[in-house]
Amino acid sequence: MAEAGVGMDAEREEGGERDLEEPLLKRSPSLTTSHLAMVGSKVSRMESLDYEIIENDLFQHDWRSRSRVEVLQYVFLKWTLAFLVGLLTGAIASLINLAVENIAGAKMIAVTRLVNQQRYLAGVAYLTGINLALTAIAAVLCVGIAPTAAGPGIPEIKAYLNGVDTPNMYGASTLFVKIVGSIGAVAAGLDLGKEGPLVHIGTCIAALLGQGGGGAAGGRRRWRWLRYIDNDRDRRDLITLGASSGVCAAFRAPVGGVLFALEEVATCTAVVVVVLRGFTELCDSGSCGLFGRGGLILFDVGDVQVTYHAADLLPVAAIGVIGGLLGSLYNFLLHKVLRFYSLINEKGRAAKLILSLSVSIFTSLCVFSLPFLGRCTPCDAGLPAGVCPTTSRTGKFKQFNCAAGYYNDLASLLQSTNDDAVRHIFSATAAPAEYSPAALLVFFALYCVLGLFTFGIAVPSGLFLPIILMGSGYGRLLGLAMKPYTQLDQGLYAVLGAAALMAGSMRMTVSLCVIFLELTNNLLLLPITMIVLLIAKTVGDVFNPSIYEIILELKGLPFLEPNPEPWMRNLTVGELAAAKPTVVSLSGVERVGRLLEVLNSTTHNGFPVVDHRPKAVVAELHGLVLRSHIIAVLRKRWFLGERRRTEEWEARERFTSEDLAERGRSVGDLEITEEEKEMFVDLHPFTNMTPHTVVETMSVAKAVVLFREIGLRHLLIVPKNQGPGVAPLVGILTRQDLRAHNILGAFPHISNRKARRNRDKASS
């Protein structure tokens, strides 16, 4: 993943310079912003979403004419979509689980058979070969068909919900690749989870339903009744629906899923859980193939003894602190690894494929060979013959290379599916230690290494499971160490360790808490889980940002933080706007030729519309017109012979709000004749007459709060002292301009505390 914004400085914001105002802006350090970022593993153009209420003649008319029936239709539509999204997400999640468990199961049976015959070389070859094939399927699909399906998808979704348009993320091909790729990658035994991919799958389903079948990147097939979902706000709600359905499906955690999003998505998640439960019951009866339970993640530690005393708070705090330290260390190292991988990925598709396959080979070899270091432990007498050593596929005590009546503890840890491994590690210990300290150490070390090197490859992957595996490993090790001093159950240590590492890396607390609650089905764990999460998060926050923020930064996605940086109060929006190129504005009634020129030569998405009255001394700002609306007018070819204002009804009878709601149209495919270029377009009916404005002396911090809270795309800066000879507009700021990263690029000393103190002293 290349660092967009530095290496790929392709397009800058310069354009045609025919402005009608006096240039008031001095050329200061210039604000360079890149519009490119990494979506999945694909470099794409970034644009912001726009939640501002557009107030022009056309829209006002449309709103007023929406009848009560239409409003009810809209509400009914939303509920139906929510239900369908939940249903489909639950169904697909169940199918993925079944497929993975069946494929992995068949694979393990064959390998076990070879091992039992002591044909070890054949075994390792078989395992490696099958895993390689599965990985190849996933990687080829990702690299070839849908590069946006690589990785978890969660950073891009977070960015979308933050207001960044992430193109090509939610199409049908992405969905297909994500599903098949996930199955392949997980069944191949790679150290990655399907939770992140499930969230992405949920959003794809939601987006596709909302589009009525057409892709988000285009496609005109839209069911008539979907015309209500034609604005960014509704689309965002739909994506949110999908994301929480995905979380719910991944963890069987409806409330956790809801916490991921808004209250209206409760329908979705309730449906998902019902569907999943249905499948679970079905599979309990054994009709689901090899793995009886269908492999739904359910780390049922209901039998864990949860009695804790005041003295236990110390080890619990220790778990939290270590989780925080390890979590931030993981973030740091993963950052380095991802940057290294981005160098490799730049070399082309073949390089990406080879990387993925190498990781697969490495994983298979480790998983097969390391257990030879394992200790053959005699089975506990109390356990019946079929349980230890296990003859079933999900069993805990694998024989591997040991004699009858013995089990290999390292093989038991490594040679199950990842879900089973977690289940085993979380299990309560009624009997004496089942895993030797050495086995746990090898397990922990291996998954640390795999956890670092698996995530960035070009297959759908998730972060949750690797972190849970690492965390439970260190948790259990810590439990062994603390054994003489505490009565806490060993399995509980593993659970807390996993929770602590997740908080230490991802820095989420409430959602995680609820997810763990619903995972473990044990309410009594809640208080100490919360304490552990909080401690881990706090410790981790001291060192570096959360892993998702790091990934967002690497991908160059312009995520706007909820709280402005403190140094943003030292800079005014006027100074910031002065660092940008001059604003390109349009006349209220503009020549078609000029419109085309402006659209082709700039990448701006909003243009101020300025009127010059005959008697007025200064131009008057009418409002802001969006690029997409200009393109819509040009496509309809509503051209005027002479430069005149039109009546309100003229626009209304030619355009509906549907016409203006399309996104993503380009101007390139328009064919305008030379004659037409001399005609005029009246922009007034399409201009947003009440754009949000701030005075130029306002601090950037205050402007960022406004921008973020409302969800703006453009913020207009007006001068403080208006009057004759003063231009009505100082500049326009967009999301990219307000990012800390970019501002520091233009004003590098602004965050320097020493420089500020000197400046203060100088001015007092």
Residue 111 binds to a copy of itself (criterion: CB under 8 A): no
Name the token pair of 102: 């069946």
232: which 2 tokens?
């960014």
Q: How far is CA 171 from the centre of its chain?
A: 15
Q: Does 725 bind a copy of itself (CB under 8 A)?
A: no
Q: Where are the beta strands (DSSP E) in 585-735?
A: 586-587, 589-591, 606-611, 620-626, 680-682, 693-695, 715-718, 731-733
479: nearest Cα among 427, 545, 410, 533: 427
Is 692 one of the binding residues for a copy of itself (CB under 8 A)? yes
Among 6, 10, 20, 53, binds a copy of itself (CB under 8 A): 53
Shortest CB 2 distance to a copy of itself, Å: 33
Q: Is 244 in the site for a copy of itself (CB under 8 A)?
A: no
Q: How far is the CB of 510 from a copy of itself (least distance, A)?
A: 5
Q: Which position among 188, 247, 259, 660 is part of the footprint of a copy of itself (CB under 8 A)?
A: 259
Q: Verify binding: residue 533, a copy of itself, rule CB under 8 A.
A: yes
Examine residue 760 and tell whether it contacts a copy of itself (CB under 8 A): yes
Closest among 42, 262, 37 to 164, alpha carbons compared: 37
CA atoms within 13 A on the CB side of 72: 3
Distance in Å, CB of 186 to a copy of itself, minimum? 26
162 binds a copy of itself (CB under 8 A): no
> Phi and psi for 313 in degrees, rounded to 5?
-65, -25
Number of H helices, E strands in the chain: 28, 14
On whether the CB atoms of residues 604 and 47 are closer than 8 A, the answer is no
**How near is the Cβ of 692 to a copy of itself at its closest, in Å?**
7
Instruction: Build a one-symbol-per-residue string for 483-502: x at contacts with a copy of itself by CB under 8 A, - elsewhere.
Output: --------------------
CA 514 – CA 503 distance, rounded (Å): 13
Interacting residues with a copy of itself between 583 and 642 (CB under 8 A): 616-618, 620
When asked if residue 267 is in the footprint of a copy of itself (CB under 8 A), the reply is yes
Write the CB contacts of 673 (distance below 8 Å, at least 6 apart in sequence): none
Which of these, 712, 436, 550, lies nearest to 154 by C-alpha position? Answer: 550
Of 151, 189, 210, 254, the one binding a copy of itself (CB under 8 A) is 254
Considering only 110, 361, 661, 705, the residue that binds a copy of itself (CB under 8 A) is 705
User: Which among 125, 129, 127, 134 has a CA at the least distance from the CA of 99?
Assistant: 134
> Of 100-108, 263-271, 412-420, 626-634, which part binds a copy of itself (CB under 8 A)?
263-271
Report which of 209, 197, 210, 188 is spatially closest to residue 133, judged by C-alpha positions.
188
Task: Please report whether residue 266 would count as binding a copy of itself according to CB under 8 A.
Answer: yes
- C-alpha closest to that of 559 among 119, 129, 49: 49
What is the Cα–Cα distance from 169 to 154, expressed in whole angstroms?
11
Q: Is 364 in the site for a copy of itself (CB under 8 A)?
A: no
Pick 653 or 675: Cβ nearer a copy of itself: 653
Contact region with a copy of itself (CB under 8 A), list: 29-37, 114-122, 332-340, 524-532:
524-532
Which one of 99, 258, 326, 465 is in contact with a copy of itself (CB under 8 A)? 258
Nearest distance from C-beta of residue 279 to a copy of itself, angstroms: 13
Using the minimum distance from each CB to a copy of itself, give the nearer residue, 223 or 649. 649
The CA distance from 632 to 8, in Å, is: 31
The footprint of a copy of itself (CB under 8 A) covers 53, 55, 60-61, 63-65, 254-255, 258-259, 263, 266-267, 269-270, 273-274, 277, 509-510, 513-514, 517-518, 521, 523, 526-527, 530-531, 533-534, 566, 569-570, 616-618, 620, 648-649, 652, 689-690, 692-695, 697-699, 701-702, 705-706, 709-710, 721-724, 728, 756, 760, 763-764
